[in-house]
Amino acid sequence: MATLPTDLWRLSAAQTAALVQSRQVSATEVARAALARVEAVNPALNAIVKCRPEEVLAQAAALDAALARGEAPGPLAGVPVTTKVNVDQAGHATTNGVRLQKDWIARDDAPVVRGLRAAGALLLGRTNTPAFSYRWFTSNLLHGATRNPRNAALTPGGSSGGAASGVAAGLGALAHGTDIAGSVRYPASACGVHGLRPGFGRIANFNGTAPKDRTIGGQLMAASGPLARHVHDLRLGLHAMAAPDPRDPWQVPAPLTGPELPRRAAVCLRPDGLDTAPEICAALLKAADQLRDAGWVVDEVDQLPPLQQAVPVQIALWMGDGYEAQAATAAREGDPGAIAALAGQRDYARAISLPEYSDALVQRLALARAWHLYLAERCAAVLLPVSGELPFEDQLDLKDAASYQRVWRAQMPQIALPVTGLPALALTTGLLPGNVPVGVQIVAGKFREDVCLAVGEAIEARCAPLPIAEPAAA
């Protein structure tokens, strides 16, 4: 075998699973290589905030024993996968980056974690998030700050900043993340990996540690999804995470692959007048050409269904429901980032009463309908920016009020799309000078994550692969 056990952490999820399934490599060898990489690199990143080597090795030993008995190992056999600290994993704290939750120990796995285990994944460690998962930057008073492994001056993104930082640096082949306003897509983009936000109803959500169920905004717009260095690995992660679970009545058992569609896409550089950076426009135009080379018809358009109108709807449903309670909890925690994130929307959120909240739900339906019709009648996929700007300098949102507003303006496509319920893929396409990642966002129709992934694979195949990040020592 050409690959030595010490290099196993470099492999894709698909490569790792194939080696373990064929018993060319043991799951224990994979686990030891992954743990050695965590020990060597994580101190410089603080991407993984809890790793229990004995648990990882025990999972690997159990998988090796099952293989020896001739049992089917699962499609993610032996693949090291990280989970975010805002999702339940049995025996671990669901901290969500908050000191107030450090003793919320899960008795059972959340649906996504249960699905990953059933697929044979090795749960490598728990990844960092900003307090309450509110920001596009990753730091908190409980676990500390996470660094971007490609450029420490840049944000690793948020809220799945630990997930993206870790997978970019080879801390696992796959990572679990969550996204209500870009929290999978932006960290993936900022760290130079790929991240899929599945559509509404695709992946079951439930945390038994929570004292009560999510508010309606969280129920309708929050989603778990995979991050990886390879698009094919996202497909493997999606299939595992989408396992049926009756604890979430919103989950829909829709097929993971839909019928063939005309290979037609649209690319929009400046949706709703977004002030898109020239480097991002260039990346979008190049991706469109690469998709044409793959046999697609790609139309450059100036107008898409509304996005800017969806931003106040998103804020109303996310922050407007119980705003005062959220603000009080953030104040008790004392986290500057969480306090600033809520304070920036204070005036709007406090103005939302029951009629305004009801109207936001009505507007959500109209916005979602416009996007669903566009993708049913005009094209199979849309290419647009992940953000209007290249990855921000770290902690920019805390600099001053103007910087906070600048961040929110640039993130408009990420904030808006969850209102539609459609799947979206952040695809990294290259590195600019200074190790600054750049990429595109791909949106497809209802339950058509397979279209997002197919478009992503076509573009990825025509891009130079990004190397695994090697961060400077802490």
The SS3 of residue 338 is: helix
Query: Is residue 286 annotated as a catalytic residue, yes or no?
Result: no
Our CA angle for 292, 298, 304, nearest 5°, is 155
**Would residue 370 be called left, alpha or beta, if left means φ above 0 and alpha means ψ between -120 and 50 degrees?**
alpha
Q: Rounded to an integer, what distance in angstroms lies between the CA atom of residue 183 and that of residue 162?
A: 11
Measured in whole angstroms, the distance separating CA 180 from the mean position of its chain's CA atoms is 10
User: What are the residues whose beta carbons fall under 8 Å from the beta carbon of 56, sequence distance 6 or more?
Assistant: 31, 34, 35, 80, 122, 123, 124, 125
Q: Which of 26, 133, 139, 159 is catalytic?
A: 159
Per the structure block, which two tokens stand in for 51? 């790793």
Has 159 been annotated as catalytic?
yes
Select from 211, 383, 218 the least CA-distant residue to 292.
Answer: 383
Query: Of the residues 26, 84, 133, 387, which is catalytic?
Result: 84
Q: 68 and 232 in contact (C-beta within 8 Å)?
A: no
Token digits for 216?
A: 């309606």
Q: Are 167 and 188 in contact (CB under 8 A)?
A: no
What is the crossing angle of helices 354-377 and 310-318, to 10°? 130
**Which tokens belong to 246?**
């009756």
Of 183, 189, 224, 387, the active-site residue reads 183
446 is catalytic: no
For the annotated catalytic residues, the residue numbers are 84, 159, 183
